Amino acid sequence: MESPSDILVDTSWLSEHYKDQDLKIIEIDTPPLTRIITKYIPNSWVIDWKNNLWHIAKRDFVVRADFKRLMESVGISNNDTIVCCSTIKQFATYVYWILKYNNHKDVRLLDGGPEKWISEGNPVADDPHRPNEYSKSKYEISDVNSKIRVFRDYVLKSLQRNDVILLDARSPEEYQGTLINVPELTQEGSLRAGRIPRAKNIYFEENVQPDGTFKSISSLQNIYSFKNITSDKEIITYCRMGHRATLVWFVLSQLLRYKNVKLYDGSWTEWGNLVNVPIEK
């Protein structure tokens, strides 16, 4: 697809660079979902989306000193290029977003993920690297990029604003309030079903092709323009726990170059449990 090569890289590009010393491949492990392939891209580091990316006590991401420890545990320095991937596509955009939230400069996403790499007969490894205390890199911390994240009070106030679009990345059943999780998983995580008032719905899977690669730029533009989701508005994406919403955030902000796209990572797990907030069905 005609996408920015400094953001979305294909398997051909990675095959030329995966041995580069200043390139690190991060794959997000998928528990409780099952990893559907048994091989890995050589030299990749596998990290857990919750145990490694969440704060040890509160529901928040690793930032500052905790982020520094994570980066050093996988041998990453500030000037390294990081390529994100996962067999679950929204986990790849989830770690991409967290890296951008922590202001890492050069972050890219592997289009089609490990499945495409392996299906094409590229080199594979039986075991990946895991975070450890023996890595020797040094990482200098910076403040977070607060411009790409919002919290519940901000969302509540935004309901009164005509220049904000709330964008729900969940399945139609979740959006309509008949389910509180995707149909194939346990229905848990919130006490109420429904959607945030005025939210529009674009299921995150609409952005990708059957082989897991992103649709063309022109196709993506058509998807969002059809729903009148335009770049002159502030866009707030959400889903159930923030994963699927990061894929929509990635498409809008990184591929389509919308300037004002934010993630509400509290998403429906938070909103559906709050007292005295409005809900639509």
The span from the CA of 168 to the CA of 201, in Å, is 5
Same fold, 8-143 and 147-271: yes
> What secondary structure, in 3-state letters, does the chain show?
CCCCCCCEECHHHHHHHCCCCCEEEEEEECCCCCCCCCCECCCEEEEECCCCCECCCCCCECCHHHHHHHHHHCCCCCCCEEEEECCCHHHHHHHHHHHHHCCCCCEEEECCHHHHHHHCCCCCECCCECCCCCCCCCCCCCCCCHHHECCHHHHHHHCCCCCEEEEECCCHHHHHCCCCCCCCCCCCCCCCCCECCCCEECCHHHHECCCCCECCHHHHHHHHHHCCCCCCCEEEEECCCCHHHHHHHHHHHHHCCCCCEEECCCHHHHHCCCCCCCCEC
Q: What is the mean pLDDT of residues 171-189?
A: 90
Q: What is the mean pLDDT of residues 191-218?
A: 97
Whether the full predicted model's pTM is greater than 0.75, yes or no, is yes
CB 123 within 8 A of CB 42: yes
Domain topology for 8-143: Oxidized Rhodanese; domain 1 (3.40.250)
pLDDT range class, residue 1, cuts 50, 70, 90:
very low
Dihedral (CA of 25, 115, 224, 173) sign: negative
Statement: residue 277 has pLDDT above 80: yes
Confidence at residue 2, expressed as pLDDT on a 0 to 100 scale: 47
Q: Which CATH number fits domain 147-271: 3.90.600.10, 3.40.250.10, 3.30.70.2190, 3.30.1050.10?
A: 3.40.250.10
Confidence at residue 36, expressed as pLDDT on a 0 to 100 scale: 74
Give every strand in the sheet of 8-9, ordered side by side. 8-9, 107-110, 81-85, 23-29, 44-48
Statement: residue 210 has pLDDT above 90: yes
User: Phi/psi at 135 (nearest 5 deg)?
Assistant: -65, 150
Q: What is the mean pLDDT of residues 123-142?
A: 87
pLDDT range class, residue 246, cuts 50, 70, 90:
very high
Statement: residue 3 has pLDDT above 90: no
The domain segmentation of the chain, as residue ranges, is 8-143, 147-271
Q: Which residues are catalytic?
A: 239
Q: Which two tokens stand for residue 222?
A: 């058509």
What pLDDT digit, counting tens, does each position of 62-101 carry?
A: 999 999 999 999 999 999 999 999 999 999 999 999 999 9
Q: Which two tokens stand for residue 139?
A: 């990482």
Biggest CA-to-CA distance, the chain? 54
What pLDDT digit, counting tens, does each position of 114-130 carry?
A: 999 999 999 999 988 88
Percent of the chain with pLDDT over 70: 97
